[in-house]
Amino acid sequence: MNNNTQSGILISECKLDTVASSSVLIAEDDPICRRVLHSRLGKWGFRVITAEDGLEAWEILRQGNPPDLIILDWIMPGIDGPELCRRIRERQHVIYPYILLVTGKDETQDVVRGLEAGADDYLSKPVDPAELRARLQAGKRILNLQHELIQAREELRFQANHDALTGILSRSAILNALDRELQRGARSGTPTGILMMDLDRFKRLNDTYGHLSGDAILKEVAHRINQAVRSYDFLGRYGGEEFLGVLSNCYPDDLRTIAERVRSAVSEALIDTGTASLAVTVSVGGVVTSHATPGIESLAAADTVLYEAKRNGGNRVEIGACNLAGLKVRS
């Protein structure tokens, strides 16, 4: 899976779970109270994780994928409930956990202290089962809304950085990737490869078979190129039927090998558009550049050799002169 699919080649692949977790962490030092809570929540459909004190709860919460619904006793050995609330809030994770503080303290000043420490709600001991269940359901509703907002934000971020038709990086995103890779190459003394790829005679295919077929071709070509480049390379739609690849730590021999693999991947099998099976080819122009060459000049150089490939009949690879000044020699 390369950088494009890590970002989500399709929006569905980048979706987060939009339903709040049914896992609950109970931190309670009284073994009888802990068992009663565990039994009740289990009957209500929750997956229960228990901690005997604040220190154990803190260790659980620091692990991967902790519960986002938490019931804390106020008074516990090691770390008490309010202090644990403060530690949880200081972590500032993407997921905001919902904390229910259970306390025998019912003075207003104590309740205020607990809420100011980071608790979202509180219950007084002895806990009424019906009230506990209602407050847990309220917490789940809030967590569900939070998950939906995160999902909406991630989808907007994906759409802002990806081409709507092909799912690969947009023009602005791939140009940003080029700038980042050139900067990284400057730090590490390694070259960056650039591939400009253009479908041969695409306008004729579009005019002959229609725009829906043209769209199907573009999506399938993007998929084939995406599979042909390396797992850590970047691929974007530069415009129209033109694609841009940015290849990290890429020497001339690597560039030619990958470019030929791309050309072959596009042409080796017919593309089924739903109404016809069509032969499609791509011309590829590539350069390897050092950080000494600005991104705009590197793009212009790749574009020049791309059109040389097209002038020479298409369905071919042309590699341009390389500027490798100041780069490390590969061992």
All residue ranges of the chain with pLDDT < 70 are: 1-21, 94, 106, 291-293, 322-331
- Does residue 309 share a domain with residue 220? yes
What's the confidence (pLDDT) of residue 175?
95
Q: How crowded is residue 57: how many other Cβ atoms within 10 Å of its Cβ?
A: 29
Identity at 51, one-letter amino acid code: A
β-sheet bridge partners, residue 234: 246
Whether 236 maps to a domain, the answer reads: yes
Strand-strand pairing, 282-289 and 317-319: parallel
Distances 287 to 18, 111, 160, 232, 317 between C-alpha atoms, Å: 44, 66, 28, 18, 11
What's the confidence (pLDDT) of residue 327?
52
Q: Which residues contact 54 (CB under 8 A, 6 or more apart)?
A: 27, 72, 76, 77, 78, 79, 80, 81, 83, 84
Q: What is the largest CA-CA distance in the chain?
A: 85
What's the confidence (pLDDT) of residue 94?
66
- Residue at a domain's end among 132, 160, 188: 160
CATH number at residue 66: 3.40.50.2300
What's the confidence (pLDDT) of residue 155?
86
CA distance 252 to 72: 60
What is the number of domains present in the chain?
Answer: 2
Residues 133-157: tens digit of each pLDDT:
999 999 999 999 988 998 898 888 8
What's the confidence (pLDDT) of residue 8?
36
Angle at 247 between CA 246 and CA 250, to 5 degrees: 145
Token digits of residue 309: 């490939």
Whether 20 maps to a domain, the answer reads: yes
Domain that holds residue 314: 171-319
Do you find a cis peptide bond into 126, omega within 30 degrees of 0?
Answer: yes
Residues 249-278: tens digit of each pLDDT:
999 999 999 999 999 999 999 999 999 999
What's the confidence (pLDDT) of residue 74?
92
- Does residue 62 share a domain with residue 196? no
What's the whole-model pTM score? Answer: 0.65
- Residue at a domain's end among 101, 130, 160: 160
- Does residue 104 share a domain with residue 51? yes
CATH number at residue 201: 3.30.70.270
Residue 203's closest CA among 212, 214, 215?
214
